[in-house]
Chains A and B, each alone.
Chain A
Amino acid sequence: MKKILEVDRVTKYYGGAVVTKALDGISLSVEEGEFVAIMGASGSGKSTLLNVISTIDRVSSGEIRIEGKSVSGRSEDELSAFRRDKLGFVFQEYNLLDTLTVGENILLPLNLRRVPVKEAEERLKKVSEALGVSGELDKFPLELSGGQRQRAACARALITSPALILADEPTGALDSKNSKVLMSTFELMNASLGATILVVTHDAAVGSHAGRALFLKDGKLWNEVIRGKRTRREMYADILSVTAALGGEIDVR
């Protein structure tokens, strides 16, 4: 399988007077079509890892490659173009632009790529129907429920068929019912639409939907659980046992 993401001995320091080591020599890789969850307690470094992978932050040392190309040493404009062309994002707070309609939000990444209108609309139709938001395209984000908004955010992340979709605590603002619907959406995106997904979460139930869960502790990769051919419930049980060994600082729903 083709490696989409390679994280090679990445270290990240923060701070001025007091220096904090947020990531400590992490190495991992994600293959095409994989659904990977990064888990860990608060302060374990999972959001920092997501930020450096998404090129929003820079590494202190080490290297990150996406589709075999290093993201280090690129200019700000090159990184913007890279994010636009290679990555899709789903955030905890949806990050939908409240001034745009849902349809305009989903189309925005295609507009940025100057995709012809006809093609863009065809892709909008396809992705919005797949994620169940086709009836909400003319509404503004504030007119939708949290679950609908997050599905719209997923559609926006998916519409460009990015190499990698990054999700940062995507269920953080949702109730348990909408969380389940969203994770089913992620599974659909992964299984049916072939999206490669890297999700950061501290929710064991969310992690159980992934094919592989990586655990961070104090900025280091601490453990890994692979679902394989097991059921989601078995995966969930495994995550809970790793969590217990970690100190029980992960949400259980």
Chain B
Amino acid sequence: MFVKLALRNVKRQVGNYLVYFITVSLTVAMMFAVNSAIFSPALTDRISGIADLKNALFFLTAFVALIVSAVLGYATSFILRLRKREFGTYLTLGMTRRNVLMLFFAETMFFCVLALGTGLAVGALVYQGLMAVIANLMETAYSFSAYSAKGLILTVCLVAAVFLLSSLASAAYLRKVSVRELLHGDKKVERQVKHPVLWLFVTVVSLAAVVGSCIFFSAEVERSVRGTGSGGNLLLAVVVLAAAVVFFHIGAAKSVVRFLLGCKKLKNRGTNAFALRQLSGRLSANAVLSGALAFLIAFAVIGANVSFVQKISNDAIFAQSYPFDVGGRTEAGEEAPVPFDEAERIIEDYAEIESAVYTAVYTSGERYLHGFTPWSGEEYEGLTDCFLTESDFNALYVPLGYEPLHTDGGFYIYSGSAVISSADFSAAFLELPGGSYFYRGTLSGYPYPQFSCYFCAVVPDEAAEGLEEDTFCAAYTLAEELSGEEARALEDALSYEYTPPSGEEYTYFRCDYDIRELARMAMNANSAEFIVSALYLAVVFVFLAMAILALKTLSEIPEDRRRYGILCRLGVSLREQSRTLFGQIFAFFFLPFALPVCLSIPAGLICRQILRLSDLAVSGVAATTGGIALVLTAVYALYFTAAWLVAKKNIVRE
């Protein structure tokens, strides 16, 4: 009999459960897609650095499952409260609490199983899309990706865990709630917000904290790039920002409308008093929820921005750090484990060497130039000044299309580090065995391959006379590009067993040659890890936020219909009813969204600042940030429009 009743209830409650069903289905789809990617044989075969990506995605999907459990727990108990009079009636008729609990559990489980099936079907398609995105990010060709049983099992287990966890709150409520509360608990007077002035103060302080934490973060980034910042301060700024976003929304929900209600001219116009009261009750009752949703959306906005900018930054770093197909280093004064001539023979097995440039890095054994940088303290004692001759420098970069460099009797600082770019060498004056040289500037816009030093001075050729050779470098340009597999094989062939000199008892394989294709793959894997993780979180978080808001809005339809019916009788036209309802839903929907999406601006500016300070190209940041904000707003507006139209259809009637 309970099964029959549960099925009938399911049929009757389809409207209430629709948003719940869609939320669970799409969340399951995302989970299944990511879980399938974790166990994808295609990724394992193609990408060597996939283990990191897999681990990251696995922890991420477990984290998402926890968040989803909390949100669905809220949604489930919310649906339960919507139907509490019905459950009260069951108890009055003699059902036990266990019966009622089982009934609710059965109904919810039915929707969950249905959503699991739908989610798996949709997820199968999303998985192919995700694999295409990953392939694109890794610059590998997309082909149909096989599904794995492990991905399916992990998804089912996670969904079962989510279902059980999300049911706990409802079970606890049903066990404790009195029959009277179930039957008559609806008629409650709106609880007046206590201390609205205090909450307004919290709102203002939180807004100031949001602005302040962004400014502090930006300043700390600048200090970090100059080598004087602290990671702890950056973390502090992020924590303050997160807390400020949450408290701003709690405070705003509890105070702003209350103060608008105090403005008689505004309140006593048309349906304003009604709309403000509707909003006041709804916002203050959902203040914490609003703060939590704002946090999720802010996380999504900032995460998406950072991930895309990280991709831009990775691409720029790659272009700067790997100008040659293969680059090698051997230390002067030591027998090279794989000398350049042997390496060239090995490389020729994979690809023809089109050109080779040999350079030497010299050292004075002193730390004079380091004195102009943050790396001048005792803890940097091992670092000594390095030098590159003008002819070596030009031999490296003129064939790549760069203008030849003329030192004209002076010297240039050459580095790939933002710390060095921002250091002031204007007072530097080099006295070397070959002569004395003035500082002429710091080079920018040139690549900086994997030298053994953080920076060096480019000096006239004669200046290097009498300096000690520190490292010999070789840069090879190949006639054809290496494939990923060839690059891996070449690295293996160039590697040798290495025992650290300081007495450690372990050995490992080391390679003194950098292969551009391998670096590209590693950077792409890193970008893919970041972007996929951030987008996964962003999509799930934004979707959950929208679902909760829509659920809240739609569940108020019966009450709103009655209230708007009274307005209609009092002579409020359909147009004015629609306008009032629009304002009410719009404000409720967009309160937790407005500030987080505005955080795109500081997020974009800070990303731009980081790239600029790192001497990387900043083009594309504004477009990326704007694009993310636009897409989020469009998706949000779409969801809002759907909720608004459904509500309008059901509430505003002749």
What residues make up the interface of A, taking CB atoms closer than 8 Å to B?
A: 54, 56, 76-77, 80-85, 87, 89, 91, 95-100, 104, 107-112, 114, 117, 120, 140, 142-143, 156
Contact = CB atoms under 8 A, between A and B. Distances in A.
Interface in B265-286: 265, 267-274, 277-278, 280-281
B573 A97 contact: no
A76 B569 contact: no
A111 B268 CA distance: 5
A100 B273 contact: yes
B154 interface: no
Nearest to A95: B566
B190 interface: yes
Given A100-B277, A104-B273, A142-B189, A112 B575 contact: no
Given A104-B273, A120-B268, A80 B278 contact: no
A114 B570 contact: no
Contact of A77 (B189, B271, B573): B573
Contact of A99 (B268, B563, B570, B573): B563
5 contacts: A80-B573, A95-B569, A98-B190, A99-B274, A107-B273
A112 B574 contact: no
Nearest to A107: B268
A85 B573 CA distance: 12
Contacts of A156: 570
A104 B261 CA distance: 10
B44 to A, nearest CB: 58
Interface in B366-418: none
Contacts of B572: 80, 84, 112
Contacts of A111: 267-273
Interface of B: 187-190, 264-265, 267-274, 277-278, 280-281, 563, 566-576, 654
B571 A82 contact: yes
Contacts of B267: 104, 111
Given A81-B573, A89-B570, A108 B274 contact: yes
Contacts of B268: 107, 110-111, 117, 120
B269 A76 contact: no
Contacts of B269: 111, 114
B268 to A, nearest CB: 5
Contacts of B570: 83-84, 89, 108-109, 112, 156
A71 B253 CA distance: 44
Residue from A80, A81, A95 with most neighbouring chain B CB atoms (10 Å):
A80
A81 B574 CA distance: 11
Contacts of B569: 54, 56, 83, 89, 91, 95
A87 B571 contact: yes
A108 B273 contact: yes
A104 B573 contact: no
A87 B571 CA distance: 9
A96 B565 CA distance: 11
A77 B271 CA distance: 15
B573 A76 contact: yes
Contacts of B576: 80
Contacts of A80: 568, 571-574, 576
Contacts of B573: 76-77, 80-81
B571 A81 contact: yes
Given A107-B268, A112-B270, A117-B265, A77 B277 contact: no
Contacts of B575: 77
A76 B566 CA distance: 16
Contacts of B189: 98, 140, 142-143
Contacts of B278: 99
Contacts of A143: 189
Contacts of B188: 142
A210 to B, nearest CB: 22
A142 B274 CA distance: 16
B69 to A, nearest CB: 33
Contacts of A84: 570-572
Nearest to B569: A89
A208 B574 CA distance: 38
A111 B261 CA distance: 14
Nearest to B279: A99
A56 B190 CA distance: 30
Contacts of A107: 268, 273
Contact of A112 (B264, B271, B277): B271
Given A80-B568, A80-B571, A89-B570, A99 B190 contact: yes
A60 B278 CA distance: 37
B555 to A, nearest CB: 16
B654 A76 contact: yes
A77 B567 CA distance: 13
Contacts of B563: 97-99
B484 to A, nearest CB: 64
Nearest to A166: B569
B144 to A, nearest CB: 55
Contacts of B566: 95-97
A83 B571 contact: yes
Contacts of A109: 570-571
A204 B417 CA distance: 95
Nearest to B654: A76
Contact of A117 (B190, B264, B280, B654): B264
A188 to B, nearest CB: 22
Contacts of A76: 573-574, 654
Q: Which 5 A-B residue pairings sit nearest by Cβ, starting from the closest?
A: A84-B571, A83-B571, A80-B573, A99-B277, A77-B573
B301 to A, nearest CB: 33
B575 to A, nearest CB: 7
Contacts of A108: 271, 273-274, 570
Interface centre among B187, B269, B273, B568 (most CB of A within 10 A): B273
A94 to B, nearest CB: 9
Contacts of B574: 76-77, 80
Query: Most chain-B Cβ atoms within 10 A of its Cβ — which of A83, A96, A107?
Result: A83
Contacts of A97: 274, 277, 563, 566-567
Given A107-B268, A109-B571, A140 B273 contact: no
B588 to A, nearest CB: 13
Contacts of A120: 268
A148 B424 CA distance: 81
A81 B270 CA distance: 12
A114 B269 CA distance: 6
